[in-house]
Each structure stands twice: as C-alpha cells, then as structure tokens.
C-alpha cells in the first residue's frame, strides 16, 4: 500500500532560522520557499535523498503548525506517504479503526486535489509518533487542469 515517504512536514517557530540550521548542520542546499496563504503557512522545501523536508511556520497562532508547537514543541507535524490508490489506502486504514480529519487548508475530509496529488489526512497520530497524510501522486492522465504545471 505505502510506497515511500513523500515529505515530512516539520512545525517550526521561524522558518528562516530553521532553514539556516538545516543548511549549516546538514549541508542542505538551496530550498524552495513557499508562502501558502491557503494553509496560513510560510514554508521552505528541500530534499534529503528521496524525502522532501518541509519546514513550516504558521502565519498565526491558530495555524496547525503553531498549534502543534504549543502541544509538542517544534517537530514533525505530519508524514506524507505515497500510495498507489488513495481510496484503497483510506479504506484499509479506516477498516483498521483510523478516522479521517478535514484538511486544515481546504476543510475537506477525505481524498481531494492538492498541487502534487490527491491527498487525505488521518486524525490524530494514526501510527505512534506520526500524524499521516496519504498522497496519490498525479499521473499525466489524472492531473486536474488547475494543477497542470505540477506546482
Ligand atoms: Zn487540502
């Protein structure tokens, strides 16, 4: 079902300071800066091997990353897993007792379109240590027109 880790979203207080630490300590190169008003976050994305790290700072105290920091301190807010078939992945997880939660950016529960693929979020820590997002990455055939550029 799960093919690989797509990204790890890390809740940070200050995305610029966090990125500087990653660049200094891990020799991370240039990051892609993403200001995402819909998600109310400022982000820096870069890869370590095949895994994308997304450093995410909420733009306000009600944001999901600010709320994560209040509860747990800075750290991984969720892990995104690439799946072949998102509806099958959801069915398998919910059959095992997991529940879905609304996407905090879109307020949609269950599979819906984001820029890179169809995504869904599971409630709470669906496995010990991690909140989970499933992503069925678009193919050329199923990519919605609004995400034609892939970004
Ligand atoms: Zn969404």
Residue whose tokens read 């200094």: 24
Residue range 61-112, pLDDT digits in tens: 999 999 999 999 999 999 999 999 999 999 999 999 999 999 999 999 999 9
- Give the Cα separation of 106 and 123 in Å (integer): 15
For residue range 7-33, what is the model confidence (pLDDT) as tens digits?
999 999 999 999 999 999 998 989 999
State residue 21's pLDDT score: 96
State the distance from the centre of ligand 1 to the C-alpha of 71, rounded, in angstroms.
22
CB 122 within 8 A of CB 101: yes
Question: What is the value of pTM for the model shown?
Answer: 0.90
Structural domains counted in the chain: 1
Q: Classify strands 75-83 and 2-11 as parallel, antiparallel or unpaired.
A: antiparallel
Q: Ligand 1 mean position to 94 CA, how many Å?
A: 19
Render the burial of 116-149: b for 16+ CB within 10 Å, e for the rest.
bbbbbbbeeebeeebbbbbbbbbeeeebeeeeee
Domain that holds residue 69: 2-147
CA–CA separation, 124 and 78 (whole Å) = 10
pLDDT at residue 1, rounded to an integer: 83
CA 38–ligand 1 middle distance (angstroms): 9
- What is the mean predicted confidence (pLDDT) over 135-142? 94
Residue 9 Cα to ligand 1 middle (Å): 14
CA distances from 50 to 31, 66, 82 (A): 15, 27, 12
CATH code where residue 21 lies: 3.10.180.10
**CB-proximal residues (5 Å) to ion ligand 1:** 103, 105-106
Ligand 1 midpoint to CA 1 (Å) = 21
Grade residue 149 by pLDDT with cuts at 50, 70 and 90. low
How close is the Cα of 118 to the center of ligand 1, in Å? 9
Flag whether pLDDT at 123 surpasses 80. Answer: yes
pLDDT for res 111: 98
- For residue 27, the CA-to-ligand 1 centroid distance in Å is 31
């Amino acid at each position: 079902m799960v093919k690989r880790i797509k990204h790890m979203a890390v809740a940070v207080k200050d995305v610029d300071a966090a990125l500087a630490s990653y660049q200094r300590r891990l020799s991370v190169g240039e990051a892609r800066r993403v200001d995402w008003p819909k998600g109310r976050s400022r982000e820096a994305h870069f890869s370590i091997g095949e895994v994308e790290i997304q450093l995410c700072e909420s733009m306000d105290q009600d944001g999901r990353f600010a709320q994560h920091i209040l509860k747990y301190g800075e750290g991984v807010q969720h892990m995104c897993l690439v799946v072949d078939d998102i509806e099958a992945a959801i069915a398998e997880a919910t059959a095992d007792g997991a529940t879905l939660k609304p996407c905090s950016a879109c307020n949609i529960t269950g599979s819906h379109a984001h820029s890179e693929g169809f995504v869904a979020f599971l409630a709470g820590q669906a496995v010990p240590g991690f909140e989970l997002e499933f992503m069925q990455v678009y193919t050329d055939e199923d990519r919605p027109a609004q995400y034609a550029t892939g970004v």
